[in-house]
Amino acid sequence: MNRFIFKFFVLLAMSIGSGLLGSRIGLNLQQSIAISIFSVSILGTLFFWDFRLSFAFLGTSVLLLTRTIDLENLIKSASLEVILFLVGMMVLIGLLKESGFFAWLISLILRMRRLTAKKFLISISIISALLACAVDEVTSIIFMVAAILEISDYFEVNPIPFIISSVLTTNIGSAGTVLGNPIGILIATKSGLTFEDFILKAFPLMLVCLAATIILVCLWYRRPLKEFDRKIKEMGANDILIKLISVPPEKRLKIALGIFGFTSFFIGLHHRLELMWDLQPNTILLIIPLISSGCVMIWRWQRARSYIEKDVEWWTLLFFLLLFAQAGTLKYTGATDIFAQKLSSFVGHNPLALRGVILWGSAIGSSVLDNVVLVAAFIPIIQSFQGMNFNLQPLWWALLFGGCFGGNITMVGSTANIVALGILEKEKHLKINFFHWLGIGLIVGIVTTGIVWIFLSCVRLTN
Amino acid sequence: MKVKEVMTKVVKSLLPNMGAREALDALLNIEISGLPVIDEEGRLIGMFTEKDVLKSILPTYLESVGKFIYADDPKGIKTKVQDLAKIKVKDIMRKDVVTVGEDTALSEVARIMLTHKIRRMPVLNKDGKVVGIVARQDIVKGLVF
């Protein structure tokens, strides 16, 4: 209890301190209140994970009560379009799960023929990254950990190297498409970047970083790999694993895959369709998951309520909604314009230096903070660079890759890390030491962020 | 009618430091699916049921993975079954136990059972000590017959 009170006072002191510091650098009262309340949300996620929604509710109420923002602008800033997109995608993921799609993927991994340790490590790394691109990092990691635990149980080897490798590559893969991470859709809607932009620019860069990560984990875990190879030789082929689980290819699984394919296809073409039909940017991107999930709820009407109540993570989404509104308040009050000016002066108005600061700043920040919190704070600042003759596109990519890759640095850096370690602890009573993770996490974090830095410094990106 | 009139009064209980395997044997011997766990001072600290044993040996991510069929018993489950001899009742018991007082009306007990989706509950006296256990079947018998 004493620790709880201590942390609460630290949160309060730091939040008030950030407001006071803001007023010292020239922020007015409204801007200082906005920065203080946003600090409560950031620090709330750091110190009081279970209470973060309570802090977001109370903080947003204070913003309205103090007239820091009005109701109309608060709702405008809440990014309802992003929330609705995520709701639609969560319903679709619920359908895929219920239809056995993910269990089917696990059975495919278990059926791997002529298994060798390196082949296993490379395969799970590639599948982790691609699955994170197609669904999202948190959904993806659960199935990957399940498959890894079954295989490591069978061959009686330590699962930790494979789980860490899978988590690292999941975080890498989450930067590859709009669907990989909530920050992907958030950046896409705020920046005007399309799904095609992600596929043409972010995806290939993600593949390069994935290849680098695979090389690094193969080197780092060469001893566990040798041990695994020895066990494979000793125990022979994985005959039992091959038939361990089955998923009947029922009609429902095929329809579910068809709906997901339809959704992905139209999300992929959203920009062209919007141009062809003269629609506002991102209209198709945002409505396709709604159309698909609407159809799912008609088809599976007996389960419709369950999809919405159980598969949609309202706790997280409500936090995002209020967080976006609070970040919008920073912009509404003009606080982010001042931050942008200060940041621009700090880097001597040098675009390359600014990219570096945003990339490394967001990577270091997301190694300890929820990347959505961090990106929500950075977005209005990047928008404020619009009037300062900066090319914004490299800054958006810097934010995306920094936010995703920084999560690899520490074991609490991303939700995927926390979910995977939670399963490992429950299933195997194994706890990973902070520094054990930091060893490989820091190397992967620095190398992959470094690759992105080189890319952003050398390649000309235009809006 | 009050719950004390239909509850099973002789309550066998388990100690938190008892081995999980030994406790499971006790459940199977007296053909009951769950027993209260009581500390040395006589306070109720949890419930140990067959469901808790199954939950502890099957993977925790089952629900997240979705629909599939086990064609064989995975090695991990077999290992966890063997490990039951090494773990204690307190490691797998359910700690958030719903209880009722001995003077609670049967309809109220039935309401609690339905809303909390539970099959049996420990019955406590005014001092907070376990004096009995009431199962769904006891309530149905008491209300209908």
User: CA-nearest residue of chain A to B67?
Assistant: A100
Which chain A residues touch B76 with a CB distance below 8 Å?
149-150, 153, 427
CA A210 to chain centroid, in Å, comes to 16
**Placement of tokens 């195997």 in the chain:** A428
pLDDT bucket at B111, cuts 50 / 70 / 90: very high
pLDDT bucket at A215, cuts 50 / 70 / 90: very high
Residues A335-352 have a mean pLDDT of 89
Which chain B residues touch A163 with a CB distance below 8 Å?
none
ipTM, two decimals: 0.76
Asked if residue A398 lies in contact with residue A355, where contact means CB atoms within 8 angstroms, the answer is: yes
Residues A100-126 have a mean pLDDT of 88
The three-state secondary structure class of B44 is strand
| Average pLDDT value for chain A | 91
Nearest by CB: B67 against A103, A154, A243: A103
Q: Which of A70-79, A376-385, A411-420, B65-74 has the lowest mean pLDDT?
A: B65-74
Hey, what amino acid is at A365? G
pLDDT at A5: 87
Distance between B32 CA and the closest CA of chain A, angstroms: 27
Q: What length is written for chain A?
A: 463
Give the pair of three-digit tokens for residue A450: 């470094």
CB within 8 Å: B60 and A150: no
DSSP state of B105: B
Asked if residue B44 lies in contact with residue B38, where contact means CB atoms within 8 angstroms, the answer is: yes
Look at residues A424, A110, A156 and name the one whose alpha carbon lies nearest to residue B79: A156
Asked, for residue A19, whether it belongs to a domain, the answer is yes
Say yes or no to pLDDT of A463 above 60. Answer: no
Say yes or no to pLDDT of A461 above 70. Answer: no
Q: CA-CA distance, A330 to A321, in Å (whole number)? A: 15
> A with B: how many residue pairs have Cβ under 8 Å apart?
69
- Give the tens place of pLDDT for each residue, A351-382: 899 999 999 999 999 998 888 989 998 999 99
Helix (H) or strand (E) segment spanning residue B48: strand B44-49
Nearest by CB: B72 against A100, A102, A243: A243
A22 Cβ contact partners less than 8 Å away, ≥ 6 residues apart:
A31, A32, A35, A36, A335
- Give the tens place of pLDDT for each residue, A138-150: 889 998 998 899 8
pLDDT bucket at A237, cuts 50 / 70 / 90: low
pLDDT at A69: 93
Asked, for residue A35, whether it belongs to a domain, the answer is yes
pLDDT at A222: 94
Residues B98-111 have a mean pLDDT of 95
Asked if residue A193 lies in contact with residue A432, where contact means CB atoms within 8 angstroms, the answer is: no
Nearest by CB: A153 against B66, B68, B74: B74
Contact A105/B at CB under 8 A: no
CB within 8 Å: B65 and A426: no
Asked if residue B16 lies in contact with residue B39, where contact means CB atoms within 8 angstroms, the answer is: yes
Asked if residue A420 lies in contact with residue A163, where contact means CB atoms within 8 angstroms, the answer is: yes
Q: Which range among A27-31, A253-257, A393-397, B71-75 has the greatest average pLDDT?
A: A393-397
Distance between B80 CA and the closest CA of chain A, angstroms: 9
Say yes or no to pLDDT of A462 above 70. Answer: no
Nearest by CB: B65 against A106, A240, A246: A106
Look at residues A264, A334, A328, A268 and name the one whose alpha carbon lies nearest to residue A73: A328
Question: Half-sphere exposure (CA, 13 Å, Cβ side) for A153?
Answer: 22
DSSP string, A249-280: --HHHHHHHHHHHHHHHHHHTHHHHHHHTTPP
Nearest by CB: A423 against B61, B70, B72: B61
Say yes or no to pLDDT of B63 above 90. Answer: no
pLDDT bucket at A238, cuts 50 / 70 / 90: low
- The better pLDDT of the pair A26, A78 is held by A78
pLDDT bucket at A320, cuts 50 / 70 / 90: very high
Which chain B residues touch A96 with a CB distance below 8 Å?
66
Give the pair of three-digit tokens for residue A55: 């802090």
- Give the tens place of pLDDT for each residue, A19-59: 899 888 888 999 999 999 989 888 888 888 888 899 999 99
pLDDT at A458: 87
Say yes or no to pLDDT of B62 above 90. Answer: no
pLDDT at A390: 85
CB within 8 Å: B66 and A103: yes
Q: CA angle, corner A131, sides to A130 and A137, nearest 5? A: 110
Asked, for residue A41, whether it belongs to a domain, the answer is yes
Q: CA-CA distance, A365 to A399, in Å (whole number)? A: 11
Q: A246 φ, ψ to 5°?
A: -135, 150
Q: CA-CA distance, A371 to A416, in Å (whole number)? A: 11
Q: Which residue in B56, B65, B73, B86 has the most chain A C-beta atoms within 10 A of its own C-beta, making it the best mutation to test that interface?
A: B65
Say yes or no to pLDDT of A243 above 90. Answer: no
CATH topology of domain B3-144: CBS-domain (3.10.580)
Domain count, chain A: 1
Asked, for residue A440, whether it belongs to a domain, the answer is no
Domain boundaries, chain B: 3-144
Look at residues B6, B12, B7 and name the one whose alpha carbon lies nearest to residue B36: B12
Asked, for residue A46, whether it belongs to a domain, the answer is yes
Q: B121 φ, ψ to 5°?
A: -140, 145
The three-state secondary structure class of B101 is strand
pLDDT at A255: 92
pLDDT at A401: 97
Q: Which of A141-145, A240-244, B72-76 has the lowest mean pLDDT?
A: A240-244
Crossing angle of the two packed helices A182-191 and A371-384, in degrees rounded to 10 = 10
Contact A101/B at CB under 8 A: yes
Q: Which residue in B58, B75, B86, B87 has the most chain A C-beta atoms within 10 A of its own C-beta, making it the best mutation to test that interface?
A: B75
Distance between B2 CA and the closest CA of chain A, angstroms: 37
- The better pLDDT of the pair A242, B32 is held by B32
Hey, what amino acid is at A406? G
Its domain, for residue A51, covers 1-68
Residue A429 backbone class (left: φ over 0; alpha: ψ -120 to 50; beta: rest): left
